[in-house]
Amino acid sequence: LRGNEIPYLNGMAQDCYTVIGWLGRLEVLFSAKGVVEDAERIKAAGVGITDLQWGEWYRMTHQELQKLTWADFCDHVKDQFLLPNWESEVLCDIRTLKMGDRESFEKFSYWVLRLQSVVKHKLGDEQLAVHIMAGLPRALELDIRDTGIMDADPLQLTTTQSTSLATRNMGQASQVPRIPLPAMSETERRNFNIWHFKCYFAEQGLCHWCKTKCGAEPTKCQKPRSSVIIRCPWEYKPPPMP
């Protein structure tokens, strides 16, 4: 690798997205150049640390650092550079992300999944799916719910699915009559969606965990968790929320 190819980490290191973005750009570079050895990757990362304080830290510890795996080095960098509450900041941002007017679903969902991996999956797939859906425009949210892909466990959003969703969303209205919803805040809409599905499952006698009529009380099902997709019809009207 040439020095001018390596992305730099400057004095804004305590901003978590600066560090996360820098590590991500390094991984893209390593993949493009075929750099697979951990020690070589870590050495290249050291070249990219241009801040005087952090550069001195690397020079003092580089011999020990080069004994680590690349994944452990990334964790070490986050622990060293970032503020103690950085994971809470990322989790908060995941919960409030909104899909931009000119942004594709593929790009939006990829970024959210990327943030989830950064915080070591401290936010489960089911919770993540709720937050992704809450960040979408209403029309796209309804179309995506119809596909059932957000019910998958583990949550996997492929390019094919995303492209299909984008194509489907362009000028195609669902033939199923949908209930008009009043204006809601993000929290109110999320709570409504959760209530909608819970009521439908309850009326069908379905367990939320195994997706069968096992008769178990909520949270006490002993069967394996099922990833079977159960689609809640949008013409279904739940009872009023308590």
Burial class (CB in 10 A: 0-12, 13-18, 19+), 241: exposed
Distance of CA 232 to the CA centre of its chain: 23
* pLDDT given for residue 160 in this prediction: 38
Average pLDDT of the residues of the chain: 74
Instruction: Provide the pLDDT for residue 38.
Output: 93
Q: Where are the alpha helices (DSSP H) in 34-68?
A: 38-48, 52-65
- Both structure tokens of 241: 């929320």
Q: What is the mean pLDDT of residues 206-215?
A: 79
State pLDDT tens for residues 50-79.
877 778 888 899 899 989 999 899 988 888
Q: How do residues 91-112 score in pLDDT, each as one tens digit?
A: 888 778 888 777 777 777 777 7
CA–CA separation, 149 and 201 (whole Å): 18
pLDDT, tens only, 109-133: 777 777 777 776 667 777 777 777 7
Q: What pLDDT score was predicted for residue 39? A: 92
Sign of CA dihedral 171, 174, 178, 183: negative
Report CA torsion sign: 191, 96, 155, 133: positive
Beta bridge partners of 9: 49
Q: Where are the domains of the chain?
A: 3-81, 89-175
**Which two tokens mark 171?**
């000028």
The letter for the amino acid at 190 is R
What gap in Å lies between CA 70 and CA 39, rounded to an integer?
A: 8
Q: What gap in Å lies between CA 181 and CA 29, rounded to an integer? A: 46
Whole-angstrom distance, CA of residue 155 vs CA of residue 218: 22
3-class SS of residue 9: strand
Q: Which run of H or E residues covers position 192?
A: helix 186-204
Write the pLDDT tens digit of every residue in 138-176.
777 776 666 665 555 555 554 434 444 444 443 333 344
Amino acid at 133: M
